[in-house]
Amino acid sequence: MLIDPNSPMGKPETQQMKVIHRAMRREFAQLPELIAAVPADDVARARLLGAHLTLVLDMLHEHHEAEDELLWPILVERVPLQKDLIEVMQRQHDAIAGAVGVIETELPGWTADARPAARDRVAGALRALESALTEHLELEESAVLPLIHEHLTVPEWLAPQEHAMKHGPKSLTGKLTLAGMVLEDATPRERTWFLSEMPAPARLLWRMMGARRYEAHTRAVRAGASA
């Protein structure tokens, strides 16, 4: 498990959430440009990026669902003076969900025919989502994670991770791609934590084929992106 040397024993390791946030920031920062650059009628490219975007949106949904169900109610109970802050977090989740809804409405049409108008609507909605998500993650890391560290138990903190594992991608390809997203920008210590949380068969699959498949996937997804 990832251990923060400045963290007392028995306290949640909130750095773990920052690793997940880093992956989401990167993906949502890149996707608007990648989608906006897809040529008209390039259905194959639209479907590739659409599938990748769907995986990232599912990751975001599971992350926020776990917080709404498993973290915010505990914080409101334990730290009632911070109820207003938690309500802000919930409103931000709602705003992000609204932006996601626009994307999910437009995405099937674009991946079906790769028309420029639908492409531009998806890219525009992604830019709005990326802006709202950045604001949300910054507030969560600066104001909410310290509260979690002080007021939640380790099992309570780990419950969202267990939720994500249970409700995450069902396919092996999806699981390995999601693992790659998290590991891509992780530090060596963060990689050690993340891999230690994976079941032993999953770790073996990652080392045997997952890392190589993820590199090929990212090359395809990011083809033509600005340096």
Q: How many residues does the chain have?
A: 227
What residues contact residue 59 under an 8 Å CB cut-off, 6+ apart? 23, 24, 168, 178, 181
Asked whether residue 140 carries a pLDDT value surpassing 50, the answer given is yes
Question: Looking at residues 186-201, what average pLDDT do you find?
Answer: 90
Contact between residue 13 and residue 4 where contact means Cβ atoms under 8 Å apart: yes
pLDDT of residue 142: 97
Q: Output the DSSP codes for 191-204.
A: HHHHHHHS-HHHHH
pLDDT category of residue 226 using cuts at 50, 70 and 90: low
Q: Which of 42-51, 178-187, 198-207 has the lowest mean pLDDT?
A: 198-207
Q: Which of 58-62, 159-163, 180-184 has the lowest mean pLDDT?
A: 159-163
pLDDT category of residue 225 using cuts at 50, 70 and 90: low
* Domains defined along the chain, listed by start: 15-168 (1.20.120.520)
pLDDT of residue 9: 54
CA–CA distances in Å: residue 190 to residues 45, 135, 184, 187? 32, 24, 10, 5
Asked whether residue 198 carries a pLDDT value surpassing 50, the answer given is yes
Question: Looking at residues 181-209, what average pLDDT do you find?
Answer: 92
The three state secondary structure string of 19-38 is HHHHHHHHHHHHHHHHHHCC
For the stretch 74-96, pLDDT in tens is 999 999 999 999 999 999 999 99
pLDDT of residue 8: 46
